[in-house]
Amino acid sequence: MRMERSNMKHWYIMPCLVLCGLSGLLLVACATEKKDFMASAREFESRTLFAPAIEEYKEAIEENPNNAEAYYRIGALANELGNTEFAAQRFRQALNIDANHPGAKRAMTTYHINRGTIARQQGRLSAARSELQAAVRVDPRSSVAQLELGRVHEAEGRLDEAIQAYIASAEADPQNIDTQLALGQGYLAQKQYAEAVTALKAVLDANPARAEAYIGLGEAYFHQGQKQAAQQAFEQAIRHYLLKGRRDLAQQVKEQADTLFPQVSDTKQ
């Protein structure tokens, strides 16, 4: 009897040991096959399944609260869905973790530029300045942010600050023709005619059809006493406006030239 009971115990113990062993193996397998939430999110994103992708990125953040890329991707998807304020919050969180995250930096700069440009166009100059200064803080090398900030300073009558912003914009992107034009016009307003000529010539080197640059050159040459060069510049501005079908603007330039050269201006449309 004792032998039979002993054998029965062994029969109970062996299956239990086997089951425990299998359970341990399963736990090890689960630990080694951890879900890659970032990869899963990107897969959903590639199929334009944005809501599931956002949920997977949230899981990635639960797993690692310092996952700047996950915060950025949530913001980018929210932006795609039109939720710009929520997107901006996520971009800020990404930048709080990694101040140089390229995507979040670019997105946050663009967010402030858009808000600042709209505010400037609406005449809300103080709000525009605040937004564009925020853009410059995020990315001081943003040519567009510096250009828009310069325009706000100029509208506020802060010409020295405007020119500094335009110079920063030009240094960030020497090929930005709008910046060179704004810089030339800013120098013209400050009566720095030689500097204005240099900037406006740079515009025309890149785009010989830019009528506004010819107008600025005409004014700068006139104030430098180069009357013939000034007349030729105004004539070029008129010509290019006419080629664009802008007879109204051509007429305005003609009237400006007639005011400066009342005795000799015979420019014809």
Assess whether pLDDT exceeds 60 at residue 64: yes
Tokens of 256: 């400006």
Output the pTM of the full model.
0.76
Is 165 inside any structural domain?
A: no
Assess whether pLDDT exceeds 90 at residue 97: yes
Q: What is the pLDDT of residues 134-170, one digit of tens each?
A: 999 999 999 999 999 999 999 999 999 999 999 999 9
Helices 125-138 and 143-155, interaxial angle, to 10°?
150
Is 174 inside any structural domain?
A: no
Q: In this structure, what CATH number is given to the domain that contains residue 232?
A: 1.25.40.10
Of 75, 99, 123, which closes a domain? 99
13-17, 50-54, 57-61, 168-172, range with the lowest pLDDT: 13-17
Is 199 inside any structural domain?
A: yes
Choose among 181, 224, 232: nearest CA to 202.
181
Query: What is the domain count for the chain?
Result: 2
H or E segment to which residue 172 belongs: helix 159-172
Is 269 inside any structural domain?
A: yes
Is 88 inside any structural domain?
A: yes
Q: What is the pLDDT of residues 103-113, one digit of tens each?
A: 999 999 999 99
Q: What is the pLDDT of residues 176-230, one digit of tens each?
A: 999 999 999 999 999 999 999 999 999 999 999 999 999 999 999 999 999 999 9
Assess whether pLDDT exceeds 60 at residue 39: yes
Is 222 inside any structural domain?
A: yes
Choose among 209, 212, 191: nearest CA to 200.
212
Q: CB neighbours (10 Å) of residue 143?
A: 20
